[in-house]
């Protein structure tokens, strides 16, 4: 009986772990899709303009919003891949045990920052929905669309930092191995 | 405490120190900014009893910079470079250029410089360029018995050119932060970038002339000239389409920098399809690496936007700018001091962090002193290129140390060896800054032509 309950509990945990991993991977894939869509939309817009057609008014506004959605969709996967740039002036000079402790403390600070920002964005999201705020751009868009990706992106970035603490892994990447501009 | 926080200089200094401390203790750069922003918002707005409102305002304002159309050029430039590398088009350019150099002494050094300059004109990532050149040419130069400084130096020198020669993702970031014309800034980098490439060639030529044994001549089988020219015509000239989309359309005024960047990325896709190198695997690999690089950059931009706004709101930015402008020293002295500060920061911080921290202060000061912002932007980009090569934490120094130590012939390479190899190229950068001071037209002539 106890074994069955434990097995059922394990299955539920496994299911949620897989679901969670799928969400993080899905968000990264979404970020890639947004990049591709931006190229397509802009090329169509420029082509339409130069061929004498009237380009869609939504292009600029949608592309601007897409940048925010891209950033927040990429953020959790970036945290998991240890892709954030870190200045390792001090970290690299610590002995492994101290570095592990420092890594955990940094992960706690980063997770706290993310979760506080997710909560603040959630408040703004709720306010915008209740007040039916509109953001005037090349087309008018509901303002809550600005805060939705912040809630999702920061929440899952926060949980990714907590995940590193839970599995006892260093949350920080090597700055000098990150491909950068 | 509240009285002290009413002083904008104290608030500014506190926020500046907070970001630096958080970065140095090891918080990722983006989170150092986000943490400083949260504390700064409570300090600046909480002093009036509006702490929560200040925090909400902070989050609200954070979306402003990141949702601006001008930043679209950054991911487009990065996708463009990634597609070139992952579809193998970059290798085709390189192989064709290889056929052009014949049996001249130091041919692999010149090939590095030519290939690196070509890639700088096709890709927005300096580190990706240096990594590619290092992996492609490093082993071959070692096999041919080149001196370590002739292997490491040209790759490090030319790797940084991608910052200056368009497409440059860093130039777009700089332009958006400094609120200068991004198209003009991109175009302004062309001539100084090409001058740097010429100076690098001169450095290699002088070195080989003085030490012929440093780059032994070796025999290679080269096809006849018609075959070599055909290879260049087939593999290099079509890349002109990408350069035209990025640079030509901006100069002609047909497209904005963001639009031209998207067209450049589309042009790479079309070319890859023409060469039958477009595959699902290459596309997904290119977009995956672009998501990683652009995502990292955009999270930092998002985090830093509110930092600049908080500094401006506290009044710290204007006080510093007024103090710097009012300081009793010549404009040239102030300019040189700013360059020195950028180079000093470059010894410890990465280029993005340096720009995010300094641009809100230095650009208003330089504008108030009468310096052309486009010209100054080019100087800042050269300083950023130099910061890739300044010890102790120059990114390209570490990259090349890794490349060298991975090879059996150069396993004993030390950081000092790498730094020594970089010195002549750093001097070239300083020389170009000097030339820009004497002849600003080197940077401003092309943008004026554009107008």
pLDDT in tens, A97-153: 888 888 899 999 999 999 999 999 999 999 999 998 888 877 888 999 999 999 999
Q: Which residues of chain A have a CB within 8 Å of the CB of B384?
A: none
Report the candidate in B299, B265, B327 with the shortest Cα–Cα distance to residue A70: B299
- Taking CA atoms, A98 is separated from A88, A94, A177, B126, in Å, by 14, 6, 22, 34
In angstroms, rounded to a whole number, what is the distance separating the alpha carbons of residues B137 and B107? 11
In sign, the C-alpha dihedral spanning B54, B59, B61, B62 is positive
CB pairs under 8 A between A and B: 196
- Contact state of B30 with A83 under an 8 Å Cβ cutoff: no
CA angle B176, B180, B181 (to 5 degrees): 100
For chain B, how far is it from start to end, CA to CA, in angstroms?
A: 52
* Mutate: best of B18, B38, B59, partner A, most A CBs <10 A: B59
The counts of H helices and E strands in chain B are 25, 0
Please tell me if residue A81 touches chain B, with a CB cutoff of 8 Å: yes
Q: Which residues of chain B have a CB within 8 Å of the CB of A78?
A: 292, 295-296, 299
- Distance, in angstroms, between B448 CA and closest chain A CA? 24
The single-letter DSSP state of residue B247 is I
pLDDT at residue number B54: 82
Instruction: Using pLDDT thresholds of 50, 70 and 90, give the confidence band for residue A20.
Output: very high
- Contact state of A46 with B60 under an 8 Å Cβ cutoff: no
Q: Mark out the alpha helices in B121-189 (DSSP H runs).
A: 126-143, 148-159, 161-164, 169-178, 182-188
Which residue of chain B has the CA closest to A154?
B299
Which residue of chain B has the CA closest to A30?
B291
Report the candidate in A119, A88, A111 with the shortest Cα–Cα distance to residue A165: A111
- Contact state of B71 with A67 under an 8 Å Cβ cutoff: yes
Report the candidate in A172, A129, A153, A104 with the shortest Cα–Cα distance to residue B302: A153
Indicate if the pLDDT at residue A157 is higher than 60: yes
Q: What percent of chain A has pLDDT over 90?
A: 55
In angstroms, rounded to a whole number, what is the distance separating the alpha carbons of residues B169 and B176? 11
**451 residues of chain B, pLDDT tens digit each:** 455 666 777 877 888 888 888 988 889 888 999 999 998 888 777 666 667 888 888 898 888 778 888 888 888 988 888 898 889 888 888 888 888 887 888 989 999 999 889 888 887 677 777 777 877 788 888 888 899 899 999 999 998 898 899 888 889 989 988 989 999 999 999 999 999 999 999 999 999 999 999 888 887 888 888 998 998 899 889 998 998 988 888 888 888 888 998 999 999 999 999 999 999 999 999 999 889 888 988 888 888 777 877 777 777 767 777 777 777 788 899 999 899 888 888 887 778 878 888 888 889 889 988 999 999 999 999 999 998 888 876 778 877 887 777 777 777 788 888 899 999 999 999 999 999 999 999 999 999 887 5
pLDDT at residue number B47: 60
In angstroms, rounded to a whole number, what is the distance separating the alpha carbons of residues B371 and B334? 11
Map residue B180 onto helix, strand or coil.
Answer: coil
In angstroms, rounded to a whole number, what is the distance separating the alpha carbons of residues B429 and A147? 44
Q: What is the pTM of this model?
A: 0.84
pLDDT at residue number B272: 94
Indicate if the pLDDT at residue A8 is higher than 70: no
Q: Which residues of chain B have a CB within 8 Å of the CB of A38?
A: 72, 75-76, 262
- Contact state of A179 with B398 under an 8 Å Cβ cutoff: no
Instruction: Using pLDDT thresholds of 50, 70 and 90, give the confidence band for residue A51.
Output: confident
Instruction: Using pLDDT thresholds of 50, 70 and 90, give the confidence band for residue A178.
Output: very low
ipTM for the complex shown: 0.88
Map residue B259 onto helix, strand or coil.
Answer: helix
Q: Which residues of chain B have a CB within 8 Å of the CB of A46?
A: 255, 259, 262-263
pLDDT at residue number B3: 59
Distance of CA B203 to the CA centre of its chain: 22
- Would you say A109 and B35 are in contact if contact means Cβ atoms under 8 Å apart? yes
The single-letter DSSP state of residue B125 is -
Q: Which residues of chain A have a CB within 8 Å of the CB of B287?
A: 32, 35-36
A window 2-41, beta carbon within 8 A of B:
28, 31-32, 35-36, 38-39
Instruction: Using pLDDT thresholds of 50, 70 and 90, give the confidence band for residue A176.
Output: very low
Indicate if the pLDDT at residue A163 is higher than 80: yes
A window 46-75, beta carbon within 8 A of B:
46, 50, 60, 63-65, 67-68, 70-71, 74-75
- Contact state of A42 with B296 under an 8 Å Cβ cutoff: no
In angstroms, rounded to a whole number, what is the distance separating the alpha carbons of residues B109 and B153? 9
- Contact state of B258 with A42 under an 8 Å Cβ cutoff: yes
């Amino acid at each position: 009986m106890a074994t069955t309950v434990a097995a059922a509990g394990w299955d539920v945990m496994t299911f949620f772990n897989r679901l969670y991993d799928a969400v993080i991977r899905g968000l990264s894939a979404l970020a890639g899709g947004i990049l591709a869509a931006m190229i397509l939309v802009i090329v169509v817009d420029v082509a339409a303009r130069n061929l004498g057609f009237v380009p869609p008014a939504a292009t600029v506004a949608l592309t601007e919003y897409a940048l925010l959605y891209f950033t927040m969709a990429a953020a959790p996967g970036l945290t998991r891949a240890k892709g954030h740039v870190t200045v390792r002036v001090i970290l690299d000079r610590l002995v492994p045990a101290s570095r592990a402790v420092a890594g955990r403390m940094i992960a706690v600070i980063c997770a706290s920052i993310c979760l506080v920002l997710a909560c603040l964005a959630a408040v703004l999201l709720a306010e915008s929905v209740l007040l039916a705020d509109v953001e005037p751009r090349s087309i008018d868009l509901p303002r809550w669309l600005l805060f939705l990706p912040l809630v999702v992106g920061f929440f899952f970035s926060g949980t990714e930092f907590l995940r590193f603490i839970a599995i006892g892994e260093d949350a920080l990447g090597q700055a000098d191995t990150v491909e950068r501009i | 405490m509240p009285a002290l926080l009413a002083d904008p200089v104290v608030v500014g200094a506190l926020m500046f120190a907070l970001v630096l401390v958080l970065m140095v203790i090891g918080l990722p750069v983006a989170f150092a900014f986000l943490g400083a922003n949260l504390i700064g918002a409570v300090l600046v707005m909480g002093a009036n009893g509006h702490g929560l409102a200040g925090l909400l305002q902070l989050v609200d304002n954070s979306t402003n910079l990141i949702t601006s159309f001008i930043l679209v050029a950054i991911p487009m430039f990065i996708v463009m470079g990634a597609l070139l590398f992952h579809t193998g088009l970059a290798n085709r350019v390189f192989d064709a250029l290889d056929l052009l150099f014949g049996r001249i002494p130091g041919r692999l050094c010149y090939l590095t410089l030519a290939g690196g300059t070509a890639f700088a004109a096709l890709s927005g990532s300096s580190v990706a360029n240096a990594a590619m050149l290092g992996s492609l040419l490093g082993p071959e130069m070692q096999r041919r018995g080149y001196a370590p400084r002739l292997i490491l130096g040209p790759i490090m020198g030319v790797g940084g050119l991608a910052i200056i020669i368009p497409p440059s993702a860093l130039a777009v970031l700089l332009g958006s932060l400094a609120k200068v014309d991004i198209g003009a800034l991109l175009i302004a980098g062309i001539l100084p970038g090409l001058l740097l490439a010429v100076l690098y060639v001169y450095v290699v030529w002088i070195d080989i002339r003085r030490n012929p044994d440093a780059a032994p001549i070796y025999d290679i089988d080269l096809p006849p000239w018609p075959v070599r020219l055909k290879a260049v015509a087939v593999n290099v000239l079509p890349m002109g389409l990408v350069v035209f989309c990025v640079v030509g359309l901006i100069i002609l005024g047909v497209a904005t920098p963001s639009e031209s960047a998207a067209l450049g990325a589309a042009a790479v896709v079309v070319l890859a399809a023409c060469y039958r190198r477009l595959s699902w695997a290459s596309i997904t690999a290119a977009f995956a690496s672009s998501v990683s690089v652009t995502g990292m950059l955009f999270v930092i931009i998002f985090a830093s936007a509110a930092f600049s706004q908080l500094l401006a709101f506290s009044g710290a930015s204007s006080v510093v700018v007024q103090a710097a402008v009012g300081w009793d020293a010549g404009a040239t002295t102030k300019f040189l001091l700013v360059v020195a500060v950028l180079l000093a920061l470059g010894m410890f911080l990465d280029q993005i962090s340096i720009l995010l921290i300094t641009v809100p202060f230095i650009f208003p000061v330089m504008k108030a002193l009468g310096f052309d912002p486009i010209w100054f932007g080019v100087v800042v980009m050269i300083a950023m290129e130099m910061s890739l090569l300044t010890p102790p934490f120059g990114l390209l120094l570490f990259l090349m140390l890794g490349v060298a130590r991975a090879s059996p012939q150069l396993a004993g390479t030390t950081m000092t060896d790498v730094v020594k190899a970089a010195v002549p190229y750093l001097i070239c950068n300083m020389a170009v800054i000097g030339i820009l001071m004497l002849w600003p037209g080197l940077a401003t002539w092309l943008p004026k032509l554009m107008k």
